[in-house]
Amino acid sequence: MAWEGIYAAYMTASEGQGFSMFVFMGGRIVGADPFGVVYDGSYQTQKDGNLVGQVTVTVPPGVLVIQGATPGPDGMTYQVPLNFETDALGLDYITLETPLGPVNLRMTKIRELEREA
């Protein structure tokens, strides 16, 4: 399975729900949500088609995250490891373990991205 593409991500956690957009391309992950939370990371596709990587989540000051935490005046940054099996997009949700608590994630691929030759 080709992981490269643009994704809509629907998330739930102990204190709420959220929505983000992500781009997976060339081993990089970038994304954002409507409240200014940004995501930057990297991934590798393994021989079996699984995806492994890590995302840095940067939350601006005053934004309540869906796990229930509110960052201080300097915002907050934390790391989330990724380990998606090849069928992850077909599942109802994927559970991500974050330093702030678990997040249930459902990703929908919006479109493929083609590399220039």
- pLDDT tens digit sequence for 20-30: 999 999 999 99
pLDDT score for 111:
94
| Number of domains present in the structure of the chain | 1
49's tokens: 């088609």
Q: Give the range of the structural domain holding residue 70, as residue numbers without chain letter.
A: 5-111
Closest CA to 8 of 110, 88, 115: 110
pLDDT score for 87:
87
Residues of the chain with pLDDT under 70: 1, 115-117
pLDDT score for 117:
59
Do β-strands 38-45 and 51-59 pair in parallel, antiparallel, or remain unpaired?
antiparallel
pLDDT score for 107:
93
CATH number of the domain bearing residue 24? 3.30.380
pLDDT score for 114:
76
Residue 77 lies in a domain: yes
Residue 117 lies in a domain: no
Query: Are the C-beta atoms of residues 58 and 78 closer than 8 Å to each other?
Result: no
Long-range contacts of 88-95 (CB under 8 A, 24+ apart): 88/51, 89/1, 93/12
